[in-house]
A = this chain, B = another copy of it.
Amino acid sequence: MQRTDFGKMACSIARTLDVIGEPWSPLVLRDVWVGVTRFEQLQADLGISRKVLTERLNHLVEQGVLERRPYDRRPRYEYVLTEKGTELVDLLMVMTGWGDKWLAGEAGPPVLYRHHACGEIGNPELRCTHCGNPMHATDVDLLPGPGAAG
Contact B111 A143 (CB under 8 A): yes
Contact A125 B122 (CB under 8 A): no
Tell me how many chains of this kind the complex includes. Answer: 2
Q: What's the interface size class on A, roughly?
A: 35 or more
Q: Which of B33, B87, B98 contacts A16 (CB 8 A)?
A: B98
Q: Which residues of B contact A11 (CB under 8 A)?
A: 27, 30, 99, 110-111
Q: Which residues of B contact A140 (CB under 8 A)?
A: 93, 113-116
Shortest A136–chain B CB gap in Å is 6
Task: Spell out A's residues near B (CB within 8 Å).
Answer: 3-4, 6, 10-17, 19, 21, 23-24, 26-27, 30, 33-34, 47-48, 81, 84, 86-105, 107-118, 120-149
Kindly list the 5 A-B residue pairs having the minimum CB-CB distance in the complex, ordered from nearest. A12-B99, A89-B137, A107-B147, A108-B146, A118-B131
